[in-house]
Amino acid sequence: MELQALKELKTKVAEVIDIVHAIAVLEWDQQTYMPPRGGEARAEQIATLSKIAHEKFTSSEVGKLIAELEPYFQNQDPESDDAALFRKVKREYEKDTKLSPDLVARISRTTALARDKWVEARKESNFSIFAPYLTQIVDLMIEKAESLGYEESIYDALVDDFEPGLKTSRIRAIFEELRKGLVPIVQAIRESGVEIRRDFLLRNYDPEKQYQFTLKILEKMGYDFQRGRQDKTAHPFTTAFSVNDVRVTNRFKDTLITSSIFSALHEGGHALYDLGMPEKFDRTILMTGASYGVHESQSRTWENIVGRSLHFWTYWFPRLKEFFPEQLQDVTLEEFYRAINYVEPSPIRVEADEVTYNLHTLLRFELEVGLMERKIKVQDLPQLWNARMKEYIGYEPKNDAEGVLQDVHWSDGLFGYFPSYTIGNILSVQFFKKALEDISDLYEQFARGEYSALREWMRTHIHVHGGKYYPEELIQLVVGEPMNPQPFLNYLREKYSGIYGKI
C-alpha cells in the first residue's frame, strides 16, 4: 500500500517532469525545424515553462510532503525505488530552495547576454569582448556556490550539479594520476616517428549518403526507431521526452566522413542509456542518468571503445566502401583504422583524440577552480590557457578563438561541468573491462556487427538503475571498486602500442 503523502509527492513531481519534458520538446524543435523567425516567441515559452516548473518543484506543498515522509523513509530499505526517489527529490528540493529567485533570474539574464557576446568574441577572436561578462558570471557562480554551501572546496558546490556527491579533492587526485600517465604516452607517440595517412578522410562524401549510413549504424547498435529518430542540427545532441521517445541529432558535412559516424555512435550511446531505463521510471525523477559523467561513459563506450576499434571496422569498412566506392578505393582497412586513431597535439577539445582529450579538460578544471577560489583573474585567462596548452599538450594556440574562447560552457554558466567528460572516459573503460570479464568474445562479436550482448550488459548493469544511485555508488555496484583511471591508461597504452609501436 502506498502512503498518501508519497502518492501526492509523486504526482506533483510527475507534473514537473512533464513540464521539463515539454521544454525539451520545444528546444528540440528550435534546433531542428523551427522557422528562422520563431526564436523570440520560443524563448518566452521556454522561460514561462521553466518558471512554472521551478515554482511547482520548490513549492511549500512539496516541502511539507518531504518533511512528512522523512521519518517514514528512515525505516525503509534504502535500495528500494521509493527510497531512492525520495532521496533524490529531497536533495534537489533542498538545493533548489537554497537559490533565491533573484539569483536565478540574474544568472539567467546575464548568461543570455553573455552567450551572444561569447559568439561575437569568438568570431572576432577577441577575449576582451567577452571578459566583462565572464567576470560577472564568475561572481554569480561564486554567489551560487556560497548559497548552496560546501564543506571543503567552493568548487564542490558546482560540481555537485553534474556529479552528485563528488568532491573537488577526489577529482584533483584523479586528474593528477591521469596526467602522470598521459604525458609519457603523448611523448612516446610524438617520438615514435610513425607516419599515418589521412588524406582520404577529407574527400567529398555526399551528406545524404552519410545520413543513410549513420541510420544503418544506429539500427545495428539497437537504437529503437519506434522510440526515437535521427534529425539534422548544427550540433549533435540527444534528448529524451520519455523512455519511449529518445531522439538523437547529427550533422552531415560535405567532407570529413568520420564526423557524422562518430557523432551517431556517441549520441546513440547516450540514447541507449535513456531507452534502457525501465518504464516504471517514466514521469519520475529517476528517469535520468546517475550523473553527467556516467551518461558520457555510455556515449564514449560506443564512440571510442567500440567505434574506434579495429574489430568494429572489420565489419563496417567494407560496407562504408560500398557507400563510397570512389572515395575509398585506394584505402585499406588498416589505413582507415590508423587514420581514425591518429594522435596529435591540437587546440580544440571536441576534435581531440582519445589520448590528449583529458589534458584539455584538466586545463579547464584547474582554471575553473582557480577562478572560483579567486586565485585566478579573468583577465589572465588567455595567457594561462596558452601556457598550459603548451605544457600539457605541446600546442600553443594561435589566437583566442582556438584557445580560451572555444567552449560555450562558461557563457552558459556551466561551471563544474568539464570534469564529467573525463569521468565519462575513465568509466567507459572500467565498465567495458567488467563487461569483457563477463562476455569474453565481445570484440569478436563487433567484427560480426553484433552488439546485443554488450548493449544488454549495459542495460542490465547500468541503465536499469536510472538515477537511483550516486555515481560513486553505481561504480562500486557495477565493477566492485571505486572510480580509477588506471584501466583507462592501460587501455590507451595497449591500443596505441598497436598503432605507434611499444609505448
Give the catalytic positions in this structure. Answer: 267
Per-residue binding string, a copy of itself, 246-285, x by CB under 8 A, is -x----------------------------------xx--
Least separation in angstroms between CB 222 and a copy of itself: 15
| Rounded-to-integer distance, Cα 213 and Cα 34, Å | 26
Q: Which of 175, 102, 109 is nearest to 143 (CA)?
A: 102
Burial of 340-363, coded b for 16+ CB within 10 Å and e otherwise, reads: bbbbbbbbebeebbbbbbbbbbbb
Q: Given the rule CB under 8 A, which of 29-37, 72-80, 148-156, 493-501 is the region that contacts a copy of itself?
A: 29-37
Q: By CB under 8 A, is residue 440 in contact with a copy of itself?
A: no
Nearest distance in Å: CB 288, a copy of itself? 15
Q: Which three cell numbers stand for residue 125?
A: 577572436
Binding marks (x or -) toward a copy of itself, 224..243, rule CB under 8 A?
A: -xxxxx-x---------xx-
User: Counting contacts by CB under 8 A, is residue 325 touching a copy of itself?
Assistant: no
| 48 sits near a copy of itself (criterion: CB under 8 A) | yes
| Other beta carbons within 10 Å of 318 | 11
Q: How far is the CB of 51 from a copy of itself (least distance, A)?
A: 8
- Tell me which residues in 385-414 interact with a copy of itself (CB under 8 A): none
Residue selected from 82, 156, 160, 245 as contacting a copy of itself according to rule CB under 8 A: 245
Q: Which is nearer to a copy of itself, 189 or 240 (CB)?
A: 240
Binding flag, residue 244, a copy of itself (CB under 8 A): yes
Answer for the pair 39, 80: CB distance below 8 angstroms, yes or no: no
Q: Interacting stretch for a copy of itself, rule CB under 8 A, among 47-55, 150-158, 255-263, 307-315?
A: 47-55
Among residues 7, 5, 9, which one has the least CA distance to residue 92? 9
Q: Does 101 bind a copy of itself (CB under 8 A)?
A: no
User: 231 forms bridges with which residues in the sheet?
Assistant: 249
By DSSP bridging, strand 238-242 and strand 230-232 are: unpaired
Residue 25 is a binding residue for a copy of itself (CB under 8 A): yes
Rule CB under 8 A: choose which of 31, 45, 125, 192 binds a copy of itself: 45
Cα–Cα distance for residue pair 189/496, rounded to 1 Å: 8
The span from the CA of 69 to the CA of 88, in Å, is 13
Contact 341, 304 (CB under 8 A): no
Cβ contact 201:257 at 8 Å: yes
Kind of pairing, strands 230-232 and 245-250?
Answer: parallel
d(CA 216, CA 327): 19
d(CA 422, CA 392) in angstroms, rounded, equals 15
Using the contact rule CB under 8 A, the part of the chain among 117-125, 222-230, 353-361, 490-498 near a copy of itself is 222-230
| 6-34: b (≥16 Cβ within 10 Å) or e | bebbbebbeebbebbbbbbeeebebeeee
Distance in Å, CB of 57 to a copy of itself, minimum: 13
Q: How many residues bind a copy of itself (CB under 8 A)?
A: 40
Part in contact with a copy of itself (CB under 8 A); list of ranges 89-97, 123-131, 223-231, 469-477: 223-231
Q: How crowded is residue 2: how many other Cβ atoms within 10 Å of its Cβ? A: 8
Crossing angle for the helix pair 81-98 and 39-57, to the nearest 10 degrees:
110
Among 49, 215, 348, 384, binds a copy of itself (CB under 8 A): 49
- Whole-angstrom Cα Rg for the chain: 23
Residues 182-221, one symbol each (x = binds a copy of itself by CB under 8 A, - = not), give ----------------------------------------
Considering the complex, what minimum distance in angstroms separates the CB of residue 205 from a copy of itself?
Answer: 24
Positions that interact with a copy of itself (CB under 8 A): 14-15, 18-19, 21-22, 25-26, 28-29, 32-38, 40-42, 44-45, 47-49, 51-52, 225-229, 231, 241-242, 244-245, 247, 282-283
